[in-house]
């Protein structure tokens, strides 16, 4: 069965981060879309203090409806987990599966800060600067952490060219997950393990959703941006081959 894979990037990144995974999915006969959210990539000029989680949910929901997409495997990386959760609430009937790639997984009414409390530190740091509404990308750390888990010098240099600031509002707007239908969507969680920074804890994942939908959890020995460093492994998990 041919599916549509809709890959949603995380904070500071853009759709280019999927450039190594997308061809592997397409080679299996699937349609692959890798849009950049408002304020990122080809939409970087639209970044402003009013851009928030709702903006990004609107982006992806609009794409699904405008292109009449169905049987969608909706993948969210990092902050993108907040986005795909909101999209699932809007158009649950369009989705075949939700995939959280080392992603934030909110409950109804939660913000990114609720899901990953250290995010508040980034907001506080921005508040003391000249543009308190914008948060710059995280800095590169010594190995094995690197830049979002990317350690190859050439990959780091390329990744830096794609990163842009994020609006504080993205981390402060609550997820809207009040449609019970979204609970019936099968879910896959891919946890990147072995290279996580201190202070970040991951919530336990239940074996089933309240609506009874199955939940699968995979662990991948990779840094946070596994789609860049381990594209074959990520693609295999997305395809259900691993």
Question: CA geometry: angle at 239 spanning 200 and 9, to 5°?
Answer: 45
Concatenated DSSP letters of 170-184: HHHSPP----GGGGG
Round the CA-based radius of gyration of the chain to a whole number and report it: 17
Q: How many angstroms separate the CA atoms of 209 and 164, rounded? A: 35
Instruction: Choose, from 36, 78, 85, 167, the residue flagged as catalytic.
Output: 78
The verdict on whether 85 is a catalytic residue reads no
Closest CA to 102 of 11, 184, 40, 180: 11
Check: CB of residue 183 under 8 Å from CB of residue 90: no
Point out the residues that are catalytic.
78
């Amino acid at each position: 069965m041919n599916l549509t894979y809709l890959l949603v990037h995380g904070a500071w990144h853009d759709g280019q981060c999927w450039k190594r995974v997308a061809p592997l999915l397409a080679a299996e006969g699937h349609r692959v879309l890798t849009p950049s959210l408002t304020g990122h990539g080809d939409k970087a000029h639209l970044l402003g203090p009013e851009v928030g989680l709702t903006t990004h949910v609107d982006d992806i929901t609009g794409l699904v409806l405008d292109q009449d997409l169905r049987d969608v495997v909706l993948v969210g990386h990092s902050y993108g987990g907040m986005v795909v959760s909101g999209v699932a609430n809007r158009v649950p009937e369009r989705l075949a599966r939700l995939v959280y790639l080392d992603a934030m997984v909110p409950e109804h009414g939660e913000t990114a800060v609720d899901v990953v409390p250290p995010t508040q530190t980034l907001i506080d740091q921005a508040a003391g600067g000249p543009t308190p509404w914008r948060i710059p990308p995280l800095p590169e750390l010594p190995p094995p952490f690197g830049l979002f888990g990317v350690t190859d010098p050439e990959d780091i240099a390329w990744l830096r060219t794609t990163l842009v600031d994020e609006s504080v509002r993205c981390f402060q707007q609550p997820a809207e997950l009040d449609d019970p239908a979204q609970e019936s969507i099968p879910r896959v969680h891919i946890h990147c393990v072995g290279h996580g920074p201190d202070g970040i804890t991951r919530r336990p994942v239940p074996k089933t959703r309240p609506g009874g939908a199955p939940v699968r959890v995979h662990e991948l020995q990779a840094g946070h941006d596994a789609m860049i460093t381990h594209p074959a492994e990520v693609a295999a998990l997305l395809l259900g081959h691993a």
